[in-house]
Amino acid sequence: MIVKTTVRFLYTCKQAFNKNNKLGGNQVWIVGACFGAGLAAYSTVIKHAEMASLSIDKNNFMAEPITDSAILKANPSDMKTKMELMIMKIQKDFCKALEAEEDPETKFVVDRWLREEGGGGITCVLQDGRIIEKAGVNISVVSGNLPAGAIQQMKSRGREFVGSGPLPFFAAGVSSVIHPRNPMAPTIHFNYRYFEVTDSSGKKHWWFGGGTDLTPYYLNQEDAKHFHSTLKAACDKHDKSYYPRFKKWCDDYFKITHRGESRGIGGIFFDDLDTPSEEKVFSFVKGCAESVVPSYVPLLRAHKDDPYGYHEREWQLIRRGRYVEFNLIYDRGTKFGLYTPGARYESILMSLPLAAKWYYMHIPKEGSKEAEMMEVLKNPREWVAEGKSR
Amino acid sequence: MIVKTTVRFLYTCKQAFNKNNKLGGNQVWIVGACFGAGLAAYSTVIKHAEMASLSIDKNNFMAEPITDSAILKANPSDMKTKMELMIMKIQKDFCKALEAEEDPETKFVVDRWLREEGGGGITCVLQDGRIIEKAGVNISVVSGNLPAGAIQQMKSRGREFVGSGPLPFFAAGVSSVIHPRNPMAPTIHFNYRYFEVTDSSGKKHWWFGGGTDLTPYYLNQEDAKHFHSTLKAACDKHDKSYYPRFKKWCDDYFKITHRGESRGIGGIFFDDLDTPSEEKVFSFVKGCAESVVPSYVPLLRAHKDDPYGYHEREWQLIRRGRYVEFNLIYDRGTKFGLYTPGARYESILMSLPLAAKWYYMHIPKEGSKEAEMMEVLKNPREWVAEGKSR
């Protein structure tokens, strides 16, 4: 497999990498924490990522795994191994599904990067394509000691760690935002992540978090139902209470508070999921991640060549301005990341659209398609009837 | 004078106005505090603002003053009167100077709005012109009781108020951001404001704040020198220490910290200025505000018709993305405003450009004009030799 890179990338990556080395622990956390923003970026170049002979099928991945093959092979049932291989496959499957919708010459550029302190990531970017205006599909697999700020944040959410010494952690996640060019095709964001923290007593704390949400520019009720019912089906297989709980959590989280409107039509969102068992939650999270392609790609395919004009493009750009507002003002991962000295801002800001616009006092005309969209953004709806899934 | 407005504006203004009424004191503060973002917005319609027979020349203003004419006439030497009339004249002069650079049919739209609790503002907006892509020139004149958060913020900056009762305040300011269409013409932002707070002992605390700063897309050393030396001349008339102090304050404030670069090439920035006397600081602030037109309009005139192509426009849009990053992530007025429930977001966000772009890992080519600009943004320069002013 050929992993593409450019000299330009290399130049900045090295700068960032050196910076990170000086900053130590904080960086570890950024990579693990910026779930809303993109888990990975920057690169050390690998021109030909020749993989060792593993039972692990390299065709499942966009680049060589982050963790050494020998370690993966020796620990096949460790959740760290399972999560890394799962998110790498999700990354590959999603990138390939998106490339299949693009012009044949338009492919993801792959950046694989490593951290001295432990771990690294694979960033896949597609920019300025005919179908996809900007897409990032990132994975990261990192470890180290938790910085004080991260410990504080976890404790405030109710986690109790024994002792006051350093807390070794492991985090693995996949994170993605896709902004299509056609205003009739929606934007999607998803992120699934796994955390392990070992406290002074040797106790391993673990939990999963994540979610998938959709941001259409024009309301298509059939699409909304398809998207939500695909997510609901993935949830219902594991716990009938998940979809209603996580759907509401998503509506509450992706709010552009100052405008009193949602970023999009929601989906699911959850954090700190650590019951009933590691295996069962992993299986649920895997199911959610696998539902991204069937929930989204049919919508992209259906609308990527829809006719549209200047008016629709303008509206899309205005809504992308609102996407920027949410990500820069409210998104926890983005804020946390950017306020940390030496943050990998290119990674964190990869979720921003290629283009956005701001008009003073823009209000859609009454009765217009744009006003119809706004009505739903102001008043989140239920898209799937109780107990039903498609 | 005919004050233009539209039904669309009126509709939203009334919504916002009702919201504000419910929220009370906080709103007063937002209007006074959002100096970095636009002091005013929304409107109640006045179709023909017929002014009473005043010695005050209505031709100096974009709309009727906010304070009742009788009160202004009765208190000609009160700083509140002087500041209101000064900022209104600055608003008119700047709007007219900008309109003179535009196509004849392109004019500012004027929104005059009033608050039930006291005061109001005049918002002037020009959007999507041939020369000016987006411009806002706002004044606000508001009064009421300071909310707890504002008191805390002022105390943390060293202000000492006697007693613990409500603190009546008055704030008047002018605030503006101009984004020209031509990438060879720079963006300007300025804001000048006056605060009065009366504590329980009856003591009147007062201070001025403000600044002017320039954001070019391509470095033009002559322009930078002209801009800075005009500001320096305005400072030097009052205190030779002002320009170096306030130039540094500006460089420190307008930093996009996560990128390690400045928003632009700076200018001057100051706050809490309350010596040597109210009259003297007013005279200094008036001088600064009057220096906006001569510092900026010649640059706009010189470059508004410069040839440029797709490449230059792209770079301008990328830099405008950085402008958005600064305003949404770091600007104190914007942050404070948007986090306050019921904030007048259209006013606060008026400083955002009409259009912006984000490319993953965009780095200008070595030796390019764009790289030259970046070098200055990474390493702020001195533009005027010590002791010199043009």
Mean pLDDT of chain A: 85
**Cα B46 to Cα B64: distance, rounded to the nearest angstrom:** 9
- Indicate yes or no: CB of A363 within 8 angstroms of CB of B125: no
| Whole-prediction pTM | 0.85
Interface probe, candidates A360, A370, A378, chain B, greatest B C-beta count within 10 A: A360
Q: Which residues of A touch B8 (CB under 8 A)?
A: 361, 363
Using the predicted structure, report yes or no on whether residue A309 has a pLDDT greater than 60: yes
**For the residues B111-140, what does the mean pLDDT come to?**
90
Quick one: pLDDT band at residue A343, thresholds 50, 70, 90? Answer: low
Determine the pLDDT at residue A34: 36
**Cα A273 to Cα A267: distance, rounded to the nearest angstrom:** 17
* DSSP 3-state of B122: strand
Distance from CA of A40 to the nearest CA of B (A): 12
Determine the pLDDT at residue A58: 82
Determine the pLDDT at residue B147: 75
Nearest to B345 among A127, A259, A353 (CB): A259
Nearest to B338 among A329, A343, A360 (CB): A329
**For the residues B198-225, what does the mean pLDDT come to?**
96
Determine the pLDDT at residue B68: 92
By CA distance, what is B134's nearest residue in A? A359
Determine the pLDDT at residue A210: 96
By CA distance, what is B331's nearest residue in A? A329
Using the predicted structure, report yes or no on whether residue B46 has a pLDDT greater than 50: no
Q: Which residues of A touch B352 (CB under 8 A)?
A: 321, 358
- HSE, CB side, 13 Å, CA atoms: give it for residue B355: 20
**For the residues A64-84, what does the mean pLDDT come to?**
95
Element (H, E) at B319: helix B310-325
Determine the pLDDT at residue A340: 62
Determine the pLDDT at residue A311: 98
List residues of B with catalytic annotation. 189
Share of chain A above pLDDT 70, in %: 83
Q: Which residues of A touch B259 (CB under 8 A)?
A: 345
Quick one: pLDDT band at residue B341, thresholds 50, 70, 90? Answer: low
Using the predicted structure, report yes or no on whether residue B166 has a pLDDT greater than 60: yes
Determine the pLDDT at residue B239: 98
For the sheet containing B109-114, what is the strand order? B109-114, B119-127, B132-145, B168-180, B187-198, B204-215, B266-273
* DSSP 3-state of B203: coil
Determine the pLDDT at residue B157: 86
Determine the pLDDT at residue A331: 92
Torsion (CA) B374, B375, B377, B379 in degrees, nearest 10: 160
**For the residues B201-206, what does the mean pLDDT come to?**
95
> Hey, how many other C-beta atoms are within 10 angstroms of the C-beta on B382?
11
User: What are the distances in angstroms from CA A323 to CA A254, A329, A330, A357, B128?
Assistant: 10, 10, 10, 11, 22
List alpha helices for chain A, DSSP H: 7-23, 25-33, 69-74, 79-99, 148-156, 221-236, 242-253, 278-290, 292-303, 310-325, 332-339, 345-348, 369-378
Nearest to A346 among B338, B346, B360 (CB): B360
> Hey, how many other C-beta atoms are within 10 angstroms of the C-beta on A387?
8
Using the predicted structure, report yes or no on whether residue B329 has a pLDDT greater than 50: yes
Distance from CA of B252 to the nearest CA of A (A): 16
Q: Which of residues 7-66 of B touch A (CB under 8 A)?
A: 8-9, 11-12, 41
Interface confidence, given as ipTM, is 0.84
**Interface residue A343 vs chain B (CB under 8 A):** yes
By CA distance, what is B339's nearest residue in A? A258
Using the predicted structure, report yes or no on whether residue A211 has a pLDDT greater than 60: yes
Structure tokens at A255: 């709010």
**Cα A78 to Cα A373: distance, rounded to the nearest angstrom:** 45
**Interface residue A125 vs chain B (CB under 8 A):** yes
- Indicate yes or no: CB of A354 within 8 angstroms of CB of B357: yes
Beta-bridge partners for A189: A177, A213
pLDDT (tens digit per residue) in B353-383: 999 999 999 999 999 999 999 999 999 999 9
- Indicate yes or no: CB of B258 within 8 angstroms of CB of A356: no
Quick one: pLDDT band at residue B119, thresholds 50, 70, 90? Answer: confident
By CA distance, what is B325's nearest residue in A? A328
Determine the pLDDT at residue A148: 78
Mean pLDDT of chain B: 85
Determine the pLDDT at residue A341: 61
**Interface residue B129 vs chain A (CB under 8 A):** no
